[in-house]
Chain A
Amino acid sequence: MDNMRIKSSIDRTAQCVMQHNRRAILSAAGVGLGAIALESMMAQDTPKPLGMLPDFHVPPRIKNVIYLFMAGGPSQLELFEDKPVLREFHGKLPPESLTNGRRFAFLPADAKLLGSNRKFERYGQCGMELSSLLPHHQKIVDKVCWLRGMKTDVFNHGPAKLFMNTGFQAPGRPSIGSWVTYGLGSQSESLPGFVVLQSGPRGPRAGNTLWSAGFLPSKFQGVPLRSQGSPILHLENPKGVSGSLQQGFIEATNDMNRLRYAEVSDPEIQTRIAAYETAFRMQTSAPELMRVDQETAETLELYGAEPGKSSFANNCLLARRLVERGVRFVQLYHTDWDHHGGKNADLDDALDKVCLEVDRASTALILDLERRGLLQETLVIWGGEFGRTPMGEPRETTGRDHHVDSFTMWIAGGGIQAGKIHGATDELGFGVTEGLVHVHDLHATLLHLLGIDHQRLTYRFQGRDFRLTDVHGRLVDEILT
């Protein structure tokens, strides 16, 4: 519910109260949906945010964000960074100067360097290095911007995911999607403004706190779209309640509320009336949204999506359908990239498997958004909560530990230079040598593209003006068009 609509809904009922008797208020029940829809169409033409921000701070370059979160931490050294020197020193102890002062989650003190056995080639005009694990990505190397100098602060999964999502490593702060919908509202009348999808063998570590609204009002929290059963919790009518009966129920409830409003005049009652109308609309539009089978065979093929299945490919396709319907912030989690070298967590078969699940659909999302003209108003982000160490972790098989000091992500969409390779790391992949982008910087840049100055989107909580980037964050304008 954006404020304008609430206010106008209040005005409307106020007029009703003045002009008619109570019976008349009831008969006005039917006008709700149409009037609100008309208003919102008008609202879309005016270049004003729909959330709490009175105006954009800078001209917005994008409207929506799709964040493909690779939960567990993909290995940049197997996917995006060819390190011949690392291969050369394979099996040797790393130089102390590089490991001093670094803390690792699991690595023993004598962990040896691990050269990757993957084959890399350069692709596209930008000449981005990709390993054979991501064959589909070859098609989009010149459409995305490669951030090879990513850096984060925390090295355990839960805290690191929180950090990537909220700018803070403990639960309790709002996630990016919550900040964005709080600031800008949503353009969707019948779907939540911030939607979360999940694929892979299990949910991401830290669970709901990753899309929590923190101290922001809970209406800004991410709404998980479930792949089984009804997509949104309690979206379906109770058993034995037909669509028409449900409509009668909503009308009766709202009529009772209108009578109450005539009595006590609390504008919150108007908000509740609008909330029930929206909920009813959501009941029809959300199932329609999930109808992946409405897509052409060619599109399904592009993504590798199969109607009725729960997969990353289906979720990518749903992400496109969501932004088409005006949903502001879509986040996909795919587990599990945590390749330590345990059973079924090696850098060979297990990594092959997850790449196969992700490569084609990630690529398809970019191609599909582009051909529909949606890429220029959407930002797509791809990456995990951290990268993986240059040292191998000897377990049952071979893997790598969590690495916070350098890893790779990619972003694409409106305002972003396509085919740009930004940042580089040292020969062994320990740290960033140029083009460092800290998590806070990524956040600042994301907000900037949406028309928000990250220093000016704040919320007063416990006596402090909090913001997504805390006291940090730098706009990475080197990658902007």
Chain B
Amino acid sequence: MVLLWIALLQTTVLFAQIPRDFQETGDVQQPVDFQNEVRPILANHCFACHGFDDQGRQADLRLDLESADSASGGTDSGGTDSGGIGRAIVPGSPDQSEMVRRIHNEDPDLLMPPASFNKPLTDPQKEVLRRWIAQGARYEKHWAFSKLERPSLAIPKANEVANIESNAIDRWVQRALDQQSLSRSPRASTPTLVRRLYLDLVGTLPSPEEVQAVCEDRSLNPIDRLIENLLASPQFGERWGRFWLDQARYADSNGFSIDGARVMWPYRDWVIAAINSDMPFDQFTIEQLAGDLLDPSGDLSASKNQRIASAFHRNTMINEEGGVKADQYRHEAILDRVNTTGSVWLGLTLGCAQCHTHKYDPISIDDYYRLYAFFNACADNNATGPTLEVLEGEVFGLPNSVFEDLSQLKKLREKLTSLEAQQKKLAEAQIPELQWKQVSLLHAVGSDGPEFLPLEFLGDGSVLVPDKLRGNSVLKVEFIHPKATESSEPITAIRLRTLPDDSLPQRGPGTASNGNFVLSDFQLFSGTTRQAFSQAWADHSQPKFQVAGAIDGDPKTGWAINTDAAQVKANPDLKMNAPHWAVFALAKPIEPGGTPIEVLLMHEINQGYLVGRFALDISTSPIPQLPNVPAEDIEALKAQIAQYGSRLPNQGKLFAQMISKDQPEPPSTYRLLRGDFLSPDKDNGPLEPSIPSVFRDGQELPMHNRLDLARWIVSSQNPLTARVMTNRVWMKLFGTGLVETENDFGLQGAMPSHPELLDWLASDWVDSGWSLKHLIYRIVSSETYQQSSDWREELSQIDPANRMLARQSRIRLDAEILRDRALSASGAICLRVGGPSVHPPQPAGVYNFTQTTKTWKEDTGANRYRKTMYTEFFRSAPYPLFTTFDSPDFSTVCTRRSRTNTPLQALTLANDPVFWELAELLVQRAKRESDPLSVEQRIHRMVLLAWCRDPSREELERLNEFYRSAQEYYRQNPSEIRSTLGTQAADPDDAAYAQVARVLLNTDEFVNRD
């Protein structure tokens, strides 16, 4: 059906809004309406060649302007004498106007528009042009570019009510209906209305009791009170925040092929908070477009939220693929910023002017690149850009104590970092130059079980481990550091030299079959006092068997000497079966004093990996001491950090939110030829930032930065923003905007169905101080909004698209709201507001078709049932429900979602375990709230929970019938009973109820907002 409408609108765009039959208005006297009738024809059929664009202009003829043009003005385009071509438009004289001759011409070479343009005029259109010329060919400014003024409310109407403005909407709608002799639909039933307001304002369902309370409320305005309550609900900011996030092209990932995750949710929190606090839309705009520039002093506390707001334009994509050129994707991001600003605030298709002057709207290519210049100052450059550290919940406001704790925590973390760095530095320090003297060993033995066997002394003062010693033998040697003489000084270090020997496997120096050893610990005793080592070095250590492992007291780590390919590549001479050495620095030098010194070589790792032959040297050279870091200090610090962390949200984890920032010296901006960023048009000099010429009446209006742009956007000088946003809010509440082309308020866009109403609402909104809640209240409290959405036979012929608003529209729920509705019907919903994105169950295999697999850790607690807007959004592979139910991938701005109705949607709702789980929870809730009741009463309760209304007799009977058949099936096949809830016993009744709940969640009524 959506398709049908699109096809219809494309061919009859002129007539769809104004159901007036042109065929019958051949009367020349019938006054012609330039805005509604003439301009659309000129814009669609003529401006492409005879419009604003001076590059593409044909025959030097311009039809978009009245004054100083060659069409109806004094000068002629081709001259009446040259080739017999007359003036295109001679006001008052259609028969003398070349235009009239041309549009009726039978000669295909002369016919306008030319056949090749593929946009022929219809007879009624030709007639309109003729009448317009006959009546003087007067031009008017395009309605959306004219200054916004509050239209007078002086519309006579019977049954005046006290508050004349509250039903202003209804008056204009009624006037248009009266002209067509149509009547409004009756008010929707109270349950339908309550449900509609809940879905539209907070995106969840009311409980049956809440519906009942409103139905039974006999006070004057129960619906008004409900509206006020809903507008005050924290969920309002979520529902309407999501509406805004579409326009912000919010996503949790970078896009393109790698599509890595990004931190953007604090900005989402900001949007929710701003809408909940009803931040005036002008401020809302300025903070998002230029919040970073509001605070040049950089005072954090004053404007941190404003800087977070400036993330609006960091929602652009980042290409992380290898080999990308940052300049290209910086340019792409800037284009997106210009186009998004144009779509969101101006309702203009600026992107058309990126390569050439706009064919239809008065936007030149220079206008485009003047806007580009605002954003060309940006400091971010594809994958790099400024960020701001944010605590979870900070955007909503946290108590001061949190920040005190945080600053303590930061200090502790810094201290820990510096200690750890010190520790690392110690480990990596280069060995100092030392003088060595070999010691004469007095004893040398190795343990063999409880026994000790002697080692063999060799001539060079080294010792050799005999064959009999293997296993985990401990080698023990002893020497004496002589008494103090002139020459003896304190020992500062000891060196272990491991030596090859012919008696060892592969010549050693170890006893393992390949000649390796693992020295798990190296210990030194002076007398009976164990002396600590502060550091160790070796000429070579096997990867993962560093020499530091020999002095760390851990028997599971140790020093070994095998080599790997990388080491040999770095040093081709390196061999395992060669002499090696390790140096151990004493933490405290040993004074000379004749005490015996004992050295132990432990081999607790592997069997038979002993040092096979070795010698010892001592040094008395001073070793520059690096400050030692006691392990206990680090542990204590970590404990303290954990303690502070537990008092802070998310353990005090800081999230780096991307924000906007300008470079101090922005680069010059040039017009880019054909939009190619490698072809700046330097010949014509740089372009200064400014707004399009049409909005400054061609005057120079130099502007400085984004702040100037933002301030102009929300100034009364800009005729568009208030209209565009009012229309979009209307669209959200009626399914279609008063201006159907919600993203094109330019000359090719549709005309408003109710122009005064749009201008009145927009002015009223601005006058209210840009209060979104005020605007929404105005709309939803109108009779027009509160009508029934049921189709009416007579309307489906006259006004199938419901442009006249003789009824409300049925609107298929957005993906998020659909699941939220199921969550709230089942009672499982968790209403916590804000925070990082969550991960409800997702079918396996979603990333089979993407380049990189994303992490998706399914949530189990309350986060499993959070509102769907918090589901982490990966642009390259969105959560499947989103794609199936028409969420865009947010590569670019989305001002309106399409609403389709497909078999894949049916499969999702019917078979997705997410919905199956919620169907079961719905049964549990009904059971909780209505036990013990009959089957009919139970089903009735389930209907109330899902639909918020009583079922009809037929509905109840049919559901009951299905219940019986499902129950029968499960009684006969009890083994088929499956529950996703895990805890439930196999109960055929519960299983059958769950099938009924599944039906309820799949009905058209559930999927739509009536």
Residues of A within 8 A of B (CB): 1, 3, 6, 22-23, 26, 52, 103, 105-106, 155-159, 161, 170-172, 192, 196, 198, 202-209, 212, 215-219, 221, 223-224, 226-229, 232-242, 244-246, 248-250, 252-253, 255-257, 259-261, 263-269, 271-272, 275-276, 278-279, 282-283, 333, 401-402, 455-456, 459-460, 462-464
Contacts and interface: CB of A to CB of B under 8 A. Distances in A.
B301 interface: no
A266 B903 contact: no
Interface in B1-42: 1-4, 6-7, 10
B323 A265 contact: no
Contacts of B966: 245, 248
A240 B977 contact: yes
A207 B851 contact: yes
A156 B321 contact: yes
B60 interface: no
Given A253-B1003, A256-B959, A460-B10, A219 B849 contact: no
A122 to B, nearest CB: 35
A227 B256 CA distance: 24
Contacts of B125: none
29 contacts: A1-B902, A26-B958, A156-B323, A156-B324, A159-B256, A171-B889, A203-B847, A203-B850, A207-B850, A207-B877, A218-B900, A219-B900, A219-B902, A229-B844, A241-B976, A244-B969, A249-B998, A252-B962, A253-B1003, A257-B1003, A265-B792, A265-B793, A267-B791, A272-B906, A278-B906, A279-B903, A333-B849, A463-B352, A464-B352
B911 A217 contact: no
Q: Is the interface of A mostly helix, strand, loop or mixed?
A: mixed
B746 A463 contact: yes
A271 B5 CA distance: 14
A205 B321 contact: yes
Contacts of A455: 118
A135 B954 CA distance: 68
Contacts of B910: 234, 246, 249-250, 253, 276, 279
A50 B743 CA distance: 29
A340 to B, nearest CB: 9
A158 B321 contact: yes
Nearest to A161: B257
Residue in A216, A219, A228, A263 whose Cβ sees the most chain B Cβ within 10 Å: A219
Nearest to B912: A234
Contacts of A268: 1, 810, 812, 901, 1004, 1008
B907 A209 contact: no
Interface stretch (B473-481, B685-693, B880-888): B880-888
A209 B321 contact: no
Nearest to B360: A463
Contacts of B901: 1, 219, 268, 271-272, 275
Residue in B748, B791, B959 whose Cβ sees the most chain A Cβ within 10 Å: B791
B908 A233 contact: yes
A308 to B, nearest CB: 17
B744 A462 contact: yes
Contacts of A276: 903, 906, 910, 1002
Interface in B879-934: 880, 883-886, 889, 891-892, 898, 900-908, 910-913, 916
Closest 5 CB pairs of A and B: A105-B323, A158-B257, A205-B257, A463-B744, A463-B349
A194 to B, nearest CB: 12
A196 B1 CA distance: 26
B577 interface: no
B1003 A208 contact: no
Residue in B361, B748, B885, B891 whose Cβ sees the most chain A Cβ within 10 Å: B891
B991 interface: yes
A231 to B, nearest CB: 10
A269 B791 CA distance: 11
Contact of A239 (B885, B973, B978, B1003): B978
Nearest to A196: B849
Contact of B906 (A158, A196, A260, A279): A279
B957 to A, nearest CB: 9
Contacts of A256: 955, 958-959, 999-1000, 1003-1005
Nearest to B913: A238
Given A209-B875, A259-B954, 20 more contacts: A158-B258, A203-B848, A205-B256, A206-B876, A218-B898, A226-B845, A227-B848, A228-B845, A233-B904, A237-B911, A238-B978, A240-B978, A252-B962, A253-B1002, A256-B1003, A265-B792, A279-B903, A455-B118, A460-B6, A463-B741
Contacts of B852: 202
A195 B878 CA distance: 18
A14 B1004 CA distance: 17
A209 B889 contact: yes
Contacts, number: 274
B432 interface: no
Contacts of B1007: 272
Interface of B: 1-4, 6-7, 10, 118, 255-259, 317, 319, 321-325, 332, 343, 348-349, 351-352, 360-361, 741, 743-744, 746, 748-749, 789-793, 796, 810, 812, 843-845, 847-852, 875-878, 880, 883-886, 889, 891-892, 898, 900-908, 910-913, 916, 952, 954-955, 958-959, 961-962, 965-966, 969, 973, 976-978, 991, 995, 998-1000, 1002-1005, 1007-1008, 1010
Given A196-B849, A208-B877, A235-B907, A249 B999 contact: yes
Contacts of A229: 844-845
A455 B348 CA distance: 24
A16 B916 CA distance: 32
Nearest to A169: B332
Residue in B10, B810, B900, B906 whose Cβ sees the most chain A Cβ within 10 Å: B906
B962 A106 contact: no
B907 A462 contact: no
B978 A266 contact: no
A171 B848 CA distance: 19
Contacts of B3: 3, 52, 217
B280 to A, nearest CB: 28
A207 B1002 contact: no
A25 to B, nearest CB: 9
B875 A218 contact: no
B504 to A, nearest CB: 38
Contacts of A459: 6
Nearest to A3: B4
A406 to B, nearest CB: 19
Contacts of A205: 256-258, 321, 851
B793 A198 contact: no
Given A52-B6, A103-B325, A229-B845, A242 B876 contact: no
Contacts of B973: 242
A205 B849 CA distance: 9
A275 B256 contact: no
Contacts of B325: 103
B68 to A, nearest CB: 27
Residue in A26, A161, A208, A263 whose Cβ sees the most chain B Cβ within 10 Å: A208
Contact of A235 (B10, B351, B911): B911
Nearest to A25: B954
Given A235-B907, A268-B901, A207 B876 contact: yes
A23 B351 CA distance: 55
B743 A462 contact: yes
Contact of A212 (B4, B889, B969, B999): B889
A248 B319 contact: no
B657 to A, nearest CB: 23
A217 B4 CA distance: 12
B842 to A, nearest CB: 10
Contacts of B748: 463
A118 to B, nearest CB: 25
Nearest to B788: A264
B308 to A, nearest CB: 26
A248 B967 CA distance: 12
A245 B4 CA distance: 35
Residue in B886, B911, B952, B965 whose Cβ sees the most chain A Cβ within 10 Å: B911
